[in-house]
Amino acid sequence: MNEDFLFYLWKFQLLSCNLFTVDGLQVVVISAGTRNADSGPDYFNAKVKIGDTLWAGNIEIHTISSDWYRHHHDEDDAYDNIILHVVHENDKPVKRKNGEDIPTVEIKDCYKPALFDRYRDFVTTMNPIPCHRHLHEVNHFTLMSWFDTLIVERLEDKTRVILQNLSRISEDFNEVFYQKICRNFGFKTNADAMEQLARSLPLGIVSKHRDNLFQIEALLYGQAGLLFTKFKDSYANQLLAEYQFLAAKYMLTPMDRKIWRFMRMRPANFPTIRIAQFAGLLNKSPGLIHSMLEADKLNHLLSLFNVSANEYWNNHYHFGQKARPERTKKLGIASIRLIVINTIVPFLFIYNRYKKDSDPDKKALDWLEQLPAESNAICRLFSLSGIEANNSLQSQALIQLKSKYCDQKRCLECRIGHELLKSGIH
């Protein structure tokens, strides 16, 4: 037995018998109260009738009553005025500081064993989706409404990181947006390195050269530390010469090239290629935040990412090393969608709130609904259990569900878990 399960019983009043204190007084719960997430009693603003007296106040819940002393509540004034002590098992009388008994209710025989059995099955299973055998039982409306909650949770988690970055650099939306877009061009393997590159090369400097693709490339490759090798390649040497001039002008210090990872990657994902594509984006869309976040239609936004690496990279993956076959290194649609999902939509979510739009979340959620579901391990896992994501809003909701609920065995806080637990006792 654990307190989380007891909190769940109390919150939803899933108690199947009349309640009495250990002294024999009947207890009628008028309001279970509000769960306290901070220090102090577990529930506040509860309302219960004990015998003939109506009480309003705080409630404490324990697996065994002696936990009161083990947790040192007897020494804390915040607990001295609780109106009811709810315990799974009453193994020791509990008193206030003045020696008065605290009304205590024992509930070990007041719930159906099947409820706890199913909960225990969920939290002890080794399957990555605790309720996988029962997911097909979930009502479609429950699932859809839970998806709506999960996607907002996920976007709020992502915007929390954006807000931290905004506070770090004096709420400069453009700079943070530029850094996060750059990070996304590194995808998983080189994401940190790409963000470090953007931080080392402020947008203000890049913007001064936004009409000159060659200079943007020189700044990016030079700052990335990828030009400081003896090349017989005239293009690389021209970039280096341009970078050295600009680095002296702006007092730039390049990164260590060792930070970049090339091993066990598809050549199309090499940082040399992604940096060239990012340079193309900066050259094509100089006003990044305005052109992207103010886009009226999703298709217009997607078209802004229709960029290719400089034609030099048609037959190169590294400076000075020709490669076959020759092909245009265009940013693929799957990559574009990931950038929209992971960066554009979270920024839009917070940007429209800053602008105080009448319906600030609508465009972000609409765009997610219009994008197809991602193909990833989490979506495939849920698919095996009968839950299919029909768009990226739902696939992002499933990622939130898996990472924040399934992985942490928070079944009691999950709307799916709640429905399955209740259905298991009928």
Indicate the pTM of the whole model: 0.84
Distance of CA 62 to the CA centre of its chain: 31
- One digit per residue, the tens of pLDDT, for the chain of length 426 reads 899 999 999 999 999 899 999 999 999 999 999 999 888 999 999 999 999 999 999 999 999 999 999 999 999 999 998 999 999 999 999 999 888 999 999 999 999 888 888 999 999 999 999 999 999 999 999 999 999 999 999 999 999 988 888 888 777 888 999 999 999 999 889 999 999 999 999 999 999 999 999 999 999 999 999 998 888 889 999 999 999 999 999 999 999 999 999 988 899 999 999 999 999 999 988 788 888 888 889 999 999 999 999 999 999 999 888 888 888 989 999 999 999 999 999 999 888 887 777 787 889 999 999 999 999 999 999 999 999 999 999 999 999 999 999 999 999 999 999 999 988 655
Q: How far apart are CA 91 and CA 64, in angstroms?
A: 6
Per-residue HEC secondary structure of 101-125 comes to ECCEEECCCCCCHHHHHHHHHHHHC
Q: How far apart are CA 43 and CA 179, in angstroms?
A: 43
Q: Which residue do the tokens 């994902």 mark?
A: 269
Say what the pLDDT of residue 363 is: 92
Both tokens of 67, joined, read 């936990």
Taking every pair of Cα atoms in the chain, the longest distance, rounded to a whole number of angstroms, is 94
Residues 6+ apart with CB under 8 A from 207: 286
Three-state secondary structure call for residue 210? coil
Q: Express each pLDDT in 272-298 by its tens digit.
A: 999 999 999 999 887 888 888 888 899
- Report helix angle 345-354 to 173-184, nearest 10: 170
Residue type (1 letter), 2: N
The region that residue 99 occupies, defined by phi over 0 for left and psi between -120 and 50 for alpha, beta otherwise, is left
Could you tell me which of 308, 256, 254 has the C-alpha nearest to residue 277? 308
